[in-house]
Chains A and B, each alone.
Chain A
Amino acid sequence: MGDTDEVEIPEVDSVSGSGIPIRGNDIDTDQIIPARFMKVVTFDGLGEFAFFDLRFDEDDEQKDHPFNEERFQDSSVMVVNSNFGCGSSREHAPQALMRWGIDAIIGESFAEIFAGNCLALGIPTVTADAETIEALQDWVDENPEGELEIDVEAETVTYGSKTIDVTVDDAQRKALVDGVWDTTALMKSNAGAVRETARELPYVESGAIPEAE
């Protein structure tokens, strides 16, 4: 095997853009991207199917949903409530949101697999308490063109004349700020130590462990 092609991983110190409120607790990944749109072997083109069943009725007529509203079409910071992204582990969910135009999500809480999938795409998932989130959703509703700035390193969100404290998980913050959120090359560089670990495990047969490169 040759050396890994270096993949450039941008540092994500901060994200700014206008906001879009998606209200409701327990919004699962089946809502974010219904399973029938996953019958594909690439993630290309998933953006248009984000929240599809919440956006369109059976006759494909638009329903009330922020993703359908003209005023939010350029938004890139989504503001959500609690347990967002629960359910299926499908990365198709953050892929669809990213391809629609979402660069960061602020919420009360996130399901773990979803947050991990977002991190793998360089999308911050930052948290604040319920009251703060509701105030932020209301502000975004009233100021659809208003700019929000998420400072990932300082753990703040600035909007209007306000700067509020938010929480960014430690590992997520370091990964984003230092540009190591795509972990493939980093972990591959430890291949020797990986083989060592494997050799110490009684259930791993020696034949399953590759020779040193």
Chain B
Amino acid sequence: MSEGTLYDKVWDRHKVTTLPTGQDQLFVGLHLIHEVTSPQAFGMLRERDLEVAYPELTHATVDHIIPTADQSRPYEEDAAEEMMSELERNVREAGIEFSDPNSGDQGIVHVVGPEQGLTQPGKTIVCGDSHTSTHGAFGALAFGIGTSQIRDVLATGTIAMEKQKVRKIQVDGELGEGVEAKDVILEIIRRLGTEGGVGYVYEYAGSAIEDLGMEGRMSICNMSIEGGARAGYVNPDETTYEWLEDTDYFQDNPEKFEELKPYWESIRSDEDAEYDDVVHIDADELEPVVTWGTTPGQGIGISDPIPEPEELPADKQDTARRAQEHMRVEPGETMAGYDIDVAFLGSCTNARLPDLRRAARIVEGREVHDDVRALVVPGSQRVQKTAEEEGLKDVFEAAGFEWRNAGCSMCLGMNEDQLEGDEASASSSNRNFVGRQGSKDGRTVLMNPQMVAAAAITGEVTDVRELPEAEVTA
């Protein structure tokens, strides 16, 4: 078993007791909730006559069902309105802070927490959403939970869990032009498999990780779950502290920053920490990665050929054959040139400011291809506001993108933003599952935001590094 890692230390500090099942009961430092997975949990509390134990450590936002075009109330869709109303009732009754659309703070739950400084190193963070792993970028221990577990956390401020193994993923070297954090994590999942992380927590380390800003670290930790790992984290460092210092919480409580820093330093993995497994990735070798199939593990470098199913491990062959049939791709070919109908820039993986800035640099002075419907959905109202002030909205709109309000949107098609029929999308989101973007015949190609921008312009999957006159000065 691991020893001296951030995971071990944060676990120990939050352990209340060992339960009769052998699981540990862990204290939860931050519970984030949203409208889709929490209403049933509040219903269970009412049935059992229980109250929310730690409302001040709970924070709500609305993201999955919120329309990104017309947000006037009541929402056009009755079901969406009902879910929003239920959330409003629950947070009001329990006294839970709510980043609602009128606050200017609403957004995707995994964008909102870090923005406001709620996400901090050494916290345990849970949310009824598998991409909660995102918050690990700050050195928090963060994981997704189901609704019955949300009930547990609401009622007790704790969760029952078994301790897992720790795999260190050492990414050394430097990322080349056009290659981003997204490509690193897609490559990790391609190599280790979609189930490779089951039973593990991933610690991301190495010079390529340290060189990333917080947004890039979040993109990587975000998709840990796509590799089967329920949590992933990066040890906190100066980059982390710089981010935290600018957030609401530490702006409002500057004394807290110095007070908590020793704790943050103390939970970093020791130099001589022991890991259950170590994997090395060379960042210099990476190129932009795109998916050819229907799991996030089915990725390839943009200039690599789509694999023959027969060349894959036996247990991957059937899935690959079905995926290639669904996607209508041929082994031996590259993904470059694959026609797309929709370009989606958004999601908790890649809808933060630097993501939009990099994409805007590609888009500037160009036009969206005639056959492409392109939309930008900022990760939060704050991202949206800053992007508008910086002129990014104008750049995208001038090129023919739609500029929307914040939400999960077409990542999972729970609002009006969905693929239609067999449309193919170039998407900066995290899942290319069949039906994920709202149409069961829809086809999703995952890629980094610059690559989405390039695909929007050309109407096909394109190596952004080869886009003519790609060097537009912003």
Contacts and interface: CB of A to CB of B under 8 A. Distances in A.
Given A26-B295, A89-B144, A187 B156 contact: yes
A82 interface: yes
Contacts of B318: 24-25
B155 A112 contact: no
A170 B23 CA distance: 9
Interface stretch (B389-397, B434-442, B452-460, B463-471): B434-442
A120 B146 contact: yes
Nearest to A110: B198
B22 A171 contact: yes
A83 interface: yes
B278 interface: no
A90 interface: yes
Interface stretch (A64-72, A139-147, A150-158, A196-204): A196-204
Nearest to B14: A197
A88 B15 CA distance: 26
Residue picked from B39, B80, B148, B198, most chain A C-beta under 10 Å: B148
A62 to B, nearest CB: 15
Given A89-B130, A111-B195, A208-B56, A184 B319 contact: no
Nearest to B149: A120
B281 interface: no
B92 interface: no
A116 interface: yes
Contact of A178 (B21, B132, B144, B412): B21
Interface residues of B, number: 84
Contacts of A31: 433-435
A51 B50 CA distance: 34
B123 A203 contact: yes
Given A28-B433, A120-B149, A89 B27 contact: no
What's the interface size class on A, roughly? 35 or more
Contacts of B43: 41-42
B147 interface: yes
A193 interface: yes
Interface in B63-83: 65, 77, 79-80, 82-83
Given A82-B315, A201-B27, A204-B57, A41 B16 contact: no
A95 B260 CA distance: 41
B349 to A, nearest CB: 14
Contact of B27 (A1, A2, A194): A194
B299 to A, nearest CB: 14
A121 interface: yes
B160 A187 contact: yes
A34 interface: yes
Nearest to A188: B156
A61 interface: no
Interface in B417-451: 431, 433-436, 438, 440-441
A5 interface: yes
B17 A4 contact: no
A150 to B, nearest CB: 18
Most buried by B among A43, A89, A111: A89
Contacts of B170: none
Contacts of B156: 184, 187-188, 190-191, 194
Interface of B: 13-17, 19-23, 25, 27, 29, 36-37, 39-40, 43, 48-51, 53-54, 56-57, 65, 77, 79-80, 82-83, 86, 120, 122-123, 128-130, 132, 143-149, 151-152, 155-158, 160, 162, 194-195, 198-199, 225-226, 228, 230, 259-260, 263, 295, 297, 315-316, 318-319, 322, 412-414, 431, 433-436, 438, 440-441
Given A197-B27, A198-B157, A201-B13, 14 more contacts: A5-B49, A43-B147, A111-B195, A112-B199, A112-B228, A116-B145, A117-B147, A120-B146, A174-B20, A184-B50, A188-B50, A191-B53, A194-B53, A209-B54
Interface of A: 1-2, 4-5, 7, 24-26, 28, 30-31, 34-36, 38-43, 53, 58, 82-83, 86-92, 94-95, 109-113, 116-117, 120-121, 130, 169-172, 174-175, 178, 180, 182-184, 186-188, 190-191, 193-194, 196-198, 200-205, 207-210
27 contacts: A4-B49, A7-B48, A25-B316, A30-B433, A31-B435, A35-B412, A35-B413, A39-B77, A39-B80, A42-B40, A43-B147, A86-B194, A89-B37, A91-B37, A110-B198, A112-B228, A112-B230, A113-B144, A120-B149, A184-B50, A184-B155, A190-B17, A193-B16, A194-B16, A194-B25, A198-B54, A203-B29
